[in-house]
Chain A
Amino acid sequence: MGIASAALALSATACGKSSTDAGSSSASDSKNITAAIAYDIGGRGDQSFNDAAYAGLKKAEDELGVKGTEAEPSEGEGDADKVQRLTALARAGNNPVIGVGFAYAPAIAKVAKAYPKTTFGLIDDTSVTAPNIANLVFNEEQGSYLAGVAAAKTSKTGTVGFIGGVEVPLIKKFEAGFAQGVKDTNPKAKVLVQYLTQPPNFDGFSKPDLGKAAAQGQLDKGADVIYAAAGLAGSGSIEAAAAADKWAIGVDSDQYNQAGLASYKDHILTSVTKDVSDSVFNLIKSVKDGKPQSGEIRYGLAQDGVGLSESNPAYKKMTDVIAAVNEAKKNIVDGKITVKTAP
């Protein structure tokens, strides 16, 4: 395995350079599928997001015998660097090549044209389309809506908090869904909203102390349920909520089961899950099966691509909350409720 991946890495870069000499198709002769992930600078520090993509690749390695390659972005890079990276990955025979995050959209639009036989995955963006591009997108607002329902039902003070990592449209989807869920459940409830940083400062996804301070402020204003969509910074707000004996709602993965948060897990009511790893796995599988996904692949509540976790026993006991959440879920899936994507 080690040798294989080393050989792959070697061929990957050998070809990346071979722009000078044309004969570079040597690497793509294999019958084996090799998948590549290029991580995102916009998601840099948003550990859960990039890690989830990696988890999908890992699963494909284990279950499908696919060989995986990863490529990291450099700090402060531009589109040209992304084009170069994706080109190197595609030229090395990787298929699919997956760009994690919307920042890859312009680069994928260019490279997909040059490599029409390679399938490109683009997470969180549908603005560029081509027959060989699969746009993997999520209805984060739907999962967040359910979190809003749960928060409004659980809150005793009628005040709940939302903490966004960085003020970008993607995170605003979380806010919009959450606020709508709260208001639909309890019109009198108050939603406190705070963003930690503004782009291009992405500290709000990576610095737990920022999340902690923001949560502290919301707790002081009477919030007793706090939903943080802030990557690693969210762990700070979970810590603050736990210290105040209030509820926290996690994001992206089921944070109740996260080892690093074990000491606060009793206060993690639930988590809004976003199944990036499955989307990556499914795309790789579709290419391996010879039926590559193409166009918009949407992961919403209906497909269980987003959802609300139920691992906390205390949450499971709240039957009325769960009933309300399930009803809301059904209404969304049936199209009776349309969740806004912008606040």
Chain B
Amino acid sequence: MMKFDKDRLILGAAGPVLALVSSFVLTVLVLLATGLDPIEPIRIMIENAGYSDIQVLIVNQTGIYYLAALAVAVGFRMNLFNIGVDGQYRLAAMVSALVGASVELPGPLHILLIVLVAMLTGAFWSGIAGILKTTRGVSEVVSTIMLNAIATSLVAWLILPKNFGVQPEGSNNLTTGEIAESGWFPGIDMGQGNGVVYGFTFVALALGVVYWFVLNRTRFGFDLRATGASESAAQASGVDAKRMILTSMLLSGALAGLSGMPTLLGESHTYSLDFPVGVGFTAITIALLGRNHPVGILFAALLFAFLDKASSSLDTFGYPKEITKIMQGIIVIAVVVSYELVRRYGLRRQQQKVGEELAAGGALKTDKEVSA
């Protein structure tokens, strides 16, 4: 029994490791092909990661990615592909910023309100896809992509000065107005201009624990995983699959809504035209790389945050920082390929083992054994 678990652990780690190694090798090849020193940029990045201001950026970005990737992972565990995390994230950030800026409440209540509005908005947006899926059988892949585009237009319309937006005097930006200080989530100031670690990062980590607990230690989590593994089997055992689909879509959207909170509550305190975008797409890769496991996702989020932030000064050294984008892109492909390879290998190994055991048990007289 122990041995089997160890095998599983090794196999589980083999996928990501294989993906990372191959993406690393391919990136080095790309650098070589363009006539650049392949090792120097990586050395610079590692050196950058040693400095505290970069570390603060990495930690903060990890929290953002972690939340968004959890949102994707909830869907994945249920066999749902929520590509709409980015749209849910943007819409939720915008609407909650709007609500947050228009009221003034005592500290914790103000923050709670903003967070709740963000979760509800995210859940509402993904819920549309969930309802379409359960009532009309529309693939959530298609509907969430389309909802991303609609979210873009909706936000662009809402933020117009004639609607709810504000154009600060002398600025070419559009914002939702500044949230009063009572709605700022306290962070940890690292001093010396090193920046502030967003307090919400710790909320993100706590949610990782909640995610693990709900999925692995509750009836709901079991139902969710069971439905994800086989909808018909789950239904046969009394699980309402449609309800599960809708619930997990709503959960996924609520988490997506939360992923805008570190930035909104810790840094910008407003939603403006330059609010970071694309988080939801990066999160898909991170969830894949982390195998939907809360700890795996944490490491994947940390890796991607490192790639993003440690590379930011590369071009001052004459290296294009886009190499990290190449690396991230290759990771996406490599992850899919290597997981499939590892899965097949694991399957074959398992079959072999079962075969061996059967052979050993069934043919007691034979001494000869095929060693693996």
Contacts and interface: CB of A to CB of B under 8 A. Distances in A.
B80 to A, nearest CB: 24
Given A12-B316, A74-B321, A80-B57, A169 B48 contact: no
Contact of B192 (A12, A22, A84): A22
A102 interface: yes
Interface in A165-205: 167-170, 198-201
Contacts of B171: 102, 105, 125-127, 169
Contacts of A260: none
Contact of B315 (A17, A72, A137, A170): A72
A85 interface: yes
A19 B325 contact: no
Contacts of B326: none
A200 B90 contact: yes
A219 to B, nearest CB: 25
Interface in B189-229: 192-195
B279 to A, nearest CB: 6
B51 A198 contact: no
Q: Please indicate which of the listed interface residues B50, B172, B309 has the most CB atoms of chain A within 10 Å of its own CB.
A: B172
B312 interface: yes
A116 B161 CA distance: 34
Contacts of A318: none
Interface stretch (B34-42, B124-132, B249-257, B268-276): B268-276
Q: Please indicate which of the listed interface residues B274, B275, B312, B313 has the most CB atoms of chain A within 10 Å of its own CB.
A: B274
Interface string A71-102: 11011111111011101100000000000001
B173 interface: yes
A81 B53 CA distance: 10
A127 B172 CA distance: 9
Contact of B268 (A74, A78, A88): A78
B167 interface: yes
B24 to A, nearest CB: 20
B313 A88 contact: yes
B27 interface: no
Interface string A234-255: 0000000000000000000000
Contacts, number: 132
Interface string B132-164: 000000000000000000001100100000000
B317 A42 contact: no
A85 B312 contact: yes
A59 B205 CA distance: 50
B180 interface: no
A103 B273 CA distance: 8
Contact of A13 (B277, B282, B316): B316
A114 interface: yes
Contacts of B108: none
Contacts of B57: 80-81, 84
B161 to A, nearest CB: 8
B121 interface: no
B174 A19 contact: no
B268 A106 contact: yes
Contact of A19 (B167, B192, B308): B192
Nearest to A172: B172
Interface residues of A, number: 49
A13 B53 CA distance: 12
B170 A198 contact: no
A105 B167 CA distance: 13
A169 B44 CA distance: 39
Interface in B223-267: 263, 267
Contacts of A167: 156
Given A83-B195, A167-B156, A103 B315 contact: no
Nearest to B165: A169
Interface in A155-170: 167-170
A17 B193 contact: no
Nearest to A198: B156
A41 interface: yes
Interface string A13-55: 1001111101000000000000000000110000000000000
Contact of A17 (B50, B173, B267, B311): B50
Contact of B169 (A16, A41, A127): A127
A78 B315 contact: no
A124 B153 CA distance: 24
A42 B54 CA distance: 23
B170 A126 contact: yes
A102 B312 CA distance: 20
Contacts of B278: 75-76
Contacts of A132: none
Nearest to B325: A75
B60 interface: yes
B268 A79 contact: yes
A213 interface: no
B165 to A, nearest CB: 10
Contacts of A13: 44, 48, 313, 316-317
B274 A76 contact: no
A19 B279 contact: no
A9 interface: yes
A6 interface: yes
Nearest to B191: A19
CB-CB nearest 4 A-B residue pairs: A126-B170, A198-B156, A17-B51, A127-B171
Given A102-B171, A127-B170, 5 more contacts: A71-B315, A85-B312, A105-B173, A200-B275, A200-B277
17 contacts: A6-B318, A12-B313, A12-B316, A17-B47, A17-B48, A17-B54, A19-B51, A71-B315, A77-B308, A79-B268, A85-B312, A87-B53, A106-B268, A125-B171, A127-B170, A135-B170, A201-B152
Interface of B: 44, 47-48, 50-54, 56-57, 60, 90, 152-153, 156, 167-174, 192-195, 263, 267-268, 273-279, 282, 308-309, 311-313, 315-318, 321, 325
